[in-house]
Amino acid sequence: MTQTSAQTAHYVPADLPTSIRHFIGGEFVDSVGGQTFDVLDPVSNQTYATAAAGQQADIDLAVAAAKDAFDNGPWPRMLPRARARVLNRIADAVEAQDARLAELETFDTGLPITQALGQAQRAAENFRFFADLIVAQADDTYKVPGKQINYVNRKPVGVAGLITPWNTPFMLESWKLAPALASGCTVVLKPAEFTPLSASLWAEIFRTAGVPDGVFNLVNGIGEEAGDALVKHPDVPLISFTGETTTGQTIYRNCAANLKGMSMELGGKSPAVVFADADLDAAIDSTLFGVFSLNGERCTASSRILVERSIYDDFCARYAARAASIVVGDPHDPRTEVGALVHPEHYAKVLSYVEIGKTEGRLLSGGGRPAGLPERLARGNYVSPTVFADVAPTARIFQEEIFGPVVTITPFETDAEALALANGVKYGLAAYIWTTDLSRAHNFAQSVDAGMVWLNSHNVRDLRTPFGGVKASGLGHEGGYRSIDFYTDSQAVHITL
């Protein structure tokens, strides 16, 4: 690790690659046509590397390698225990280099280093979890006495196309790679073009762990080029996608021609509902974490806070004071709580919502670039944690996903009004309910449009639980056996007795 003069220069990890290549059939390669794109770091907004920009020809090669490994290689035919050993070695390798992974992820994404470290460790846990799961996997058998035996013959689907976004890229890739590989599929990963750095690290990790060549393939590139070619490729029977709802809709249409299996983890605008009887200290802690951790670039961010009128003023005052004290700074500094947003394009989008918010709500905290950033951070994509109160449900900042450190607060009078506000957006990913009334909490969970609900609880979840959204937030659920179900076919075999 190097740091050029802490006071005056921007932190740059040692041995940073200057070119990021595809990984196809066990080899690092450039694009067939030689195309590249620039990769920026979000603190200096300077190009630090060029990445191979995959086109149809590169996707064709990657899919052919994955298909050959699936049709002729050992991976889909290995015993679950043998595959699990490889997956555990992957987890070991990720854990062993978690600090380096976090450092590179932080440099590429602008995420605070302590949070990037947690995400790297979570990536290891994903591999360990799916290793355990496939060893414990049991499938159904049915007997019709004297007539038939029926059993489920679970088979990996084939070449899985994995398309991932730029927020917590390494961890989100692991959330797809681990179950796909555990199931015996071979894969082509197309990571987000804003943040290709950490994805390239999988290649060496997998090779060292004993993943056969061709099982893992990586093609970098622009979504509309490399991503589109992967989605439309006839030898890729399923696509697991995480990203924006509008991109998901395009992919959905493009999968239709080949009737592909699809898993869609899409955008969110999740409510946190705080009733007057809630443990207010815990609710404030958690709702701050919910929207300002990971720079607010979190799909399950509690970006709309709904607060019962009788505690509204107190909540707003305390919340705004806490938001104002959040440490915004160098992503590599362990004290930093909000780092730099991922890319100038995204930064401009978030800032534009902050300006819209000034016309739609009452600004309590933040509201633009933080004042007094040191010179070494002056060109970074920084946005102060921003809080708007009195935001009407018709406001754009209430309805639209901002995906940055910006939160709205809206009062409500009754449970029914709270529910109407919570459900009054097109999204339905997560909901957070704060109340000490147990029956209200469960009734609210029952009625709220959300794939995942946290009652008096931080955004922490057990890997066995379903993950996914309803309405415009997604299609299908991943997590636990649901992920294995997605990457496998359950063939029914019937035998006459």
With beta carbons less than 8 A apart as the criterion, state whether 212 and 234 touch: no
Give me the DSSP letters along 189-244.
EE--TT--TGGGHHHHHHHHHTPPTTSEEE----IIIIIHHHHH-TT--EEEEES-
Whether 75 contacts 215, CB under 8 Å: yes
CA dihedral 9, 10, 16, 17 (to 10 degrees): -100
From its phi and psi, is residue 132 left (phi > 0), alpha (psi between -120 and 50) or beta?
Answer: alpha
Phi, psi of 409, rounded to the nearest 5 degrees: -125, 135
Name the residues annotated as catalytic: 265
Residue 118 binds to ligand NAD (criterion: CB under 6 A) = no
DSSP annotation of 200:
G
The whole-angstrom separation of Cα 470 and Cα 393 is 20
- Out of 45, 88, 137, 250, which residue is the one contacting ligand NAD (CB under 6 A)? 250
Q: How far apart are CA 469 and CA 473, in angstroms?
A: 5
Applying CB under 6 A, does 223 fall inside the site for ligand NAD?
yes
469 binds ligand NAD (CB under 6 A): yes
| AA letter at 492 | A
Distance in Å, CB of 396 to ligand NAD, minimum: 16
Closest to ligand NAD by CB, 435 vs 459, is 459
* Rounded distance between C-alpha atoms, residue 215 and residue 62, angstroms: 10
Q: Is 268 in the site for ligand NAD (CB under 6 A)?
A: yes
The interface mask with ligand NAD, positions 398-417, x = CB under 6 A, is ---x-x--------------
> What is the smallest separation between the CB atom of 241 and ligand NAD, expressed in angstroms?
7
Count of residues for the chain? 497
Selected range binding ligand NAD among 75-83, 146-154, 242-250, 375-383, rule: CB under 6 A: 242-250
Per rule CB under 6 A, is residue 39 in the interface with ligand NAD?
no
Least distance in angstroms from the C-beta of 450 to ligand NAD: 12
Would you give the distance in Å from CA 92 to the centre of its chain?
22
Strand pairing of 304-308 and 406-412? parallel
Between 128 and 190, CB nearer to ligand NAD: 190
Contact flag: residue 266 with ligand NAD (CB under 6 A):
yes
Place of tokens 């905290």: 365
Q: Considering beta carbons, is residue 315 or 398 the nearer one to ligand NAD?
A: 398
Nearer to ligand NAD, 222 or 363 (CB): 222
Q: Applying CB under 6 A, which part among 6-14, 189-197, 412-420, 479-487 lies near ligand NAD?
A: 189-197
b/e 70-102 (16+ beta carbons within 10 angstroms → b): beebebbeeebeebbbbbbbbbbbbbebbeebb
Place of tokens 């509201």: 367
**How far apart are CB 407 and ligand NAD at their closest, in Å?**
15
Q: Name the minimum Å distance from CB 347 to ligand NAD.
A: 13
Q: How many residues bind ligand NAD (CB under 6 A)?
A: 30
Cβ closer to ligand NAD: 93 or 484? Answer: 484
Contact between 330 and 6 under an 8 Å Cβ cutoff? The reply is no
Q: Is 225 in the site for ligand NAD (CB under 6 A)?
A: no
| Residue 265 interacting with ligand NAD (CB under 6 A) | yes
Cβ closest to ligand NAD, residue 132 vs residue 244: 244
For position 190 contacting ligand NAD by CB under 6 A, the verdict is yes
Binding residues vs ligand NAD (CB under 6 A) = 163-167, 172, 190, 192-193, 223-224, 227-228, 231, 242-244, 247, 250-251, 265-268, 299, 401, 403, 429, 469, 474
